[in-house]
Amino acid sequence: MKTINARGKLCPEPVVMTKAVVDQGERELEVLLDNPTAASNVMRFLESREYSVLLKDDEGMLSISACKKEGKEGKSAAPAATATETSQEQPVRAQPATKIAPGGTDPLPTGTFSVLVTCKTLGRSDEQLGEVLMKSFLGTLAQMDNAPIVVALMNEGVRLSLYDSSTCDHLKNLEKKGVIILVCGTCVSHFAIADRIGVGTISNMFEIIETLNRADKTITL
């Protein structure tokens, strides 16, 4: 069994260290950590690669034992589903729509897209107006037939996922449509708001970049 000592490491390094060992074909491994958020991220990564995982907590010293499932050769997979996605009635993500080219009749595929939000307002010259615009943007996005693959929240953008924010319900509606909501764990720790997150999955830089990269294009706010 391969042991990975990721104690004292900040996200996404524990996931990156684990991925390096998984890519070498290791079927049994143990990951040592001291950060619950990092442990959650590592567990989701291993589960997405078809490993069975077991978490042990010895007064804050965490260890994850992982074993490759029988008959599973490993493949890239989407991040683990959120609680909303694992309900009995699975949400169906809207299929990419088409649009008509200006002045013509040939349909143009819109393709898949992702959204990266790095601030809590849309524009910065007027904060009050920016908050209204951001709420309107996410509300409109939740009503579109062509939903994004993922909405990733970083920096001040993580505040949009707070349970008492005006945007939380819009993000929940997106999640119900099958959109992955990823909330930067480093940012959540920086602002000390982990207990106030009301939607999405607290994630890491590796998972966020990997998921954003699955889309044809990314809208950055």
What is the sign of the dihedral through the CA atoms of 144, 148, 154 and 160?
positive
Amino acid 108: pLDDT? 37
**CATH code for residues 98-220:** 3.40.1260.10
User: Which residues fall within 8 angstroms of residue 102, CB to CB, at 6 or more apart?
Assistant: none
Amino acid 201: pLDDT? 87
Instruction: State how far the Cα of 212 lies from the Cα of 120, in Å rounded to an integer.
Output: 19
Residue 152 has pLDDT above 90, yes or no: yes
24, 30, 33, 35: CA torsion to nearest 10 = 90
Amino acid 77: pLDDT? 42
**CATH code for residues 2-68:** 3.30.110.40
Which residues face 191 on adjacent strands?
Answer: none
Residue showing tokens 């207990």: 195
Residue 66 has pLDDT above 60, yes or no: yes
pLDDT > 70 fraction of the chain, expressed in percent and rounded: 81
User: What's the pTM?
Assistant: 0.62
Residue 109 has pLDDT above 90, yes or no: no
CB 41 within 8 A of CB 203: yes
* Phi, psi for 35 (deg, rounded to 5): -135, 115
Sequence length of the chain is 221
Res. 58 pLDDT band, cuts 50 70 90: confident
Amino acid 37: pLDDT? 81
Amino acid 153: pLDDT? 94
Instruction: State how far the Cα of 43 lies from the Cα of 217, in Å rounded to an integer.
Output: 28
Average pLDDT over residues 40-66: 86
User: Which residues fall within 8 angstroms of residue 104, CB to CB, at 6 or more apart?
Assistant: none
Domain extents in the chain? 2-68, 98-220
DSSP string spanning 108-138?
Answer: EE---EEEEE-SSSSSSS-HHHHHHHHHHHH
